[in-house]
Every structure is written in structure tokens, then in C-alpha cells.
Amino acid sequence: MLKRNTSGLQSHARQKRDSALIRTEQAIQKLHKENKSINFGVVAQEAGVSRTWLYNQIEIRERIEELRDKQLVKKTNIQKSTPDNQIESSVSKTNIIIELQQRINKLETENLVLRQHLEVVYGMSNSELVRTVEVLQIEKAELKRQLQELSNNNDATAVSELINRQLHERIYTLESEKAEMLLQHKQVIQQLDKLNSDLNNQENLKLTNQKQTEDIKKLQTALESTKKELTEDRQGLNTTHAKLTSIEEAKKTLKSNNVLDSKVQDKCSELGIKLNKSLIDLIKSKPYEQVINALSVVEERLAVGSKKVRSKSSLFRTALENGWEPNESDVEREAYTIKTNFFEWYDLARNYGIVQQFKEEEEMIIVQDNTGQWIKFEIMSAKWTLDYLRRVAQPK
């Protein structure tokens, strides 16, 4: 069972009781001063309190009973002097008493059922209910005593009036108790419904929080995994970046120092290719595979016949510039030899001033001499031989 803080309720109950005591005292004084009837029903109505509460206050109860009895004795003495013809018949009074007692029994039964139901709802006996039962027992004993005393009185009118008044008071009290217990029962049901709703909300909130906690754990796990992957990728990037930086630095060093790849240098040395700055720059500007192919072309031409290759460096430069590849046919080799010789002859003849330009027509090379006339290369080269031009022509 839930433990609730009842200090505020207890403080409110004390304030309510003090206020009820003051109102009750004022009501009793007012009724006594105005010489009105004083009983539990009248005082309860005047003070705005319940009869049950009046019965539970021992001092107030005794005072009301004392004032009521004094008024009753006084009224009885007055009624003794009334004529006999004004006294109601004892049979009529008896019928009224029986009817009122039956009504009292019915109300007591209903109130007992309500008290038992409230005890089941609370799960334990209510101290207020126990106190109410004790008060009712005291009241019952008091009524029996007064009834016994009055039954010995010869004045039937006084007896009937007293019993009638007390029975009406009892009925009013029981009806008030019934109304209060019904209201209390309704309030208890509402409190139980609210508690059940709060418990359901707390359970739902607990489930929601649990799900959120699980989701957060999954996200944290995924985040850790992602962080780990990012760290590994960053390390790989750093390694790659370091390698790239090293390669770039090596390239810069090679360019700044005019240094070639060791394999290219060794191959050039093996083939007898003389390297100068312009040829080195050309090699660096071409793809590595193209450089190797050009070296292979030179090597292939040398294998055919070294006498046919007049300038290895010139052959290598031409093969590199034109992207030649090895393993060509004899016709291709012959054409290449002619072209190689022509280019060397043309450079020397132009420097010497005997030709201006050249062109190819139908796989034939023709050159324009210094007079503007177009002449076949074979005729021009026979007049101006390559050996002669090598001796007399100076490259610009």
C-alpha cells in the first residue's frame, strides 16, 4: 500500500474541528437565549455540523443532553395541567412509535452495509466508523433508559411526545450518517480510480524510459563503432598522405636535380644514348611506359643493324616524341629509317639554307628549295648528301 503524507490533512482537520466547536457553542447560546428547543438535530442545523460529530464530542453531547432534559421536564410539568380531552390516544402514539422504530431498523441495516463496504475498500477498520458505532450504542442505551423511565410515568402524552421526538431525532441522525457515508464511499472510489490511473501512468512512463535507455545504449554503441572506423580511416589516410608526400617530395627532388629513374638511366647507358638537359626534360614529361617503349625501339633498331642508326639520341628522341612501339615490320622499319635520316638531313639542310619546308604526298616526301621549287627528297638528298651537310652545316 502507498504511504501518503497526511500532515497537511491533519492540520486541516484540527482547524475544521476548532471552527465547528466555536459555531456549536454560539448556536447553543443563541437557542438558550431565545428559549428555543435544544436537541442534537436543532443544534446541528444551527451550527452547520453533523449529528454524528455532535455525538462524538463528549462535553458538547453531555451539555446538549442536560439542556434537552431540563426543557423536557419543564414541558412535561406544563402538559400535566392540560385537559384530558387534549391528550392523544395511546393507540395512535403506539402506531407512530412502531413505524418510527421500523424506519430506524431499516436505516441501521443500510448504514451497517455501507460501513462494511467502506471497511473492505479501505482494507482495514476505520476508526471514525468504530467511534460512530460506539456513539450509537451509547445513544441506544440512553434511549432505552429514558423509555424505561417514561414507561413508569402515568402521563401518556409526555411519554409519547418524548419517544416521538427522540425517534425523529434518531431517524434524522441515521439519514445524515447515510448521506455522509455515501459521499465518503463516492470519494473513496474516486481516489482509488485516481491512484490506479497514476499507477498506470507511472508504469507507462517506466516502460517509455526503459525503451529510451535501450535506444540510447544502441546509439552509443553505433557511435563508438563509427568513431573506431573513423579513427582507422584517419590513420589510413595519414599513412597514405605520408606516402604521397614522400612520393611528391621524391619527384620534386628528381626534377630539381635532373635525376632520372635508375632503370631508365641504366638502359640509356647500355644503349649508348647520350643524355642532355633537353632530353632529360622530355623523358620526365612522358609516361614511364612510353619511355620504356622508346628505349625498346632503339634497342630493336640496334639489333637490326647498328650502322643503320646514325644517331641513337636522335632515334630515341623521335621514338619518344611520336610514341613509337617495338616489334614493327621490315617495311615499317625501312620507312622509319628513311624518316629518321630525312629529319636529320632536313634539320641540317634548313640550317644550311638550301630548303625552306617539306610535306608528304602519297607516301612521298618532297622539299621546297631556296628558290621555291618543290623537289623529291631522294633527288635533293643525292645532290646534298647527309655526310656533306654534317660536315658543313652548323646547327643554330
The percent of residues above 90 in pLDDT, for the chain, comes to 21
pLDDT for 225 beyond 70? yes
- pLDDT per residue as tens digits for the range 100-110: 777 777 777 77
CB 179 within 8 A of CB 49: no
Per-residue pLDDT at 239: 75
Measured in whole angstroms, the distance separating CA 381 from the mean position of its chain's CA atoms is 92
Domain range enclosing 38: 10-76+95-199
Collapsed DSSP state (helix, strand, coil) of residue 361: strand
176 with 54, same domain? yes
The answer on 25 and 136 residing in a single domain is yes
User: Coil, strand, or helix at residue 316?
Assistant: helix
Mean pLDDT for all residues in the chain: 77
* Number of domains present in the structure of the chain: 2
With CA atoms as reference, report the closest residue to 258 among 278, 239, 243, 234: 278
In a domain, residue 221? The reply is: no
Do residue 187 and residue 63 come from a single domain?
yes
Q: Between 288-304 and 330-352, two packed helices, what is the crossing angle to 10 degrees?
A: 100
What is the per-residue pLDDT for 124? Answer: 44
Residue 29: pLDDT band (50, 70, 90) is very high
Give residue 361's pLDDT: 84
Burial degree of 294 (CB within 10 A; 0-12, 13-18, 19+)? buried
Measuring CA to CA, which residue among 151, 152, 171, 164 is closest to residue 88? Answer: 164
> What is the reported pLDDT for 380?
92
The answer to whether residue 251 sits within a structural domain is no
pLDDT digits (tens, 9 = 90+) for 275-307: 899 889 999 999 999 999 989 988 888 887 656
Give CA–CA dist 166/68, Å, rounded.
11
What is the pLDDT averaged over residues 112-124? Answer: 61
Kindly state whether residues 27 and 106 are assigned to the same domain. Answer: yes
CA distance 112 to 54: 20
SS (H, E, C) 5-43: CCHHHHHHHHHHHHHHHHHHHHHHHHHHHCCCCCCHHHH
Q: Is the pLDDT of residue 360 over 90?
A: no
The reported pTM is 0.29
Q: Which of 199, 217, 240 is the last residue of a domain?
A: 199
Q: Half-sphere exposure of 123 toward its Cβ, with a 13 Å CA cutoff?
A: 4
State what percent of residues in the chain have pLDDT above 70.
Answer: 71
* Residues counted in the chain: 396
**Domain end position, chosen among 199, 233, 248:** 199
The pLDDT tens digits of the residues spanning 228-282 come to 887 787 887 777 667 666 656 655 554 545 567 888 989 898 888 988 998 899 9
How many CA atoms does the CB half-sphere of 19 hold within 13 Å?
Answer: 8
Separation CA 96–CA 160 (nearest Å)? 9
Do 294 and 316 contact (CB within 8 A), yes or no? yes
Cell of 211: 525503451
Per-residue pLDDT band at 46 (split at 50, 70, 90) = very high
Distance CA 310, CA 385 (A): 14
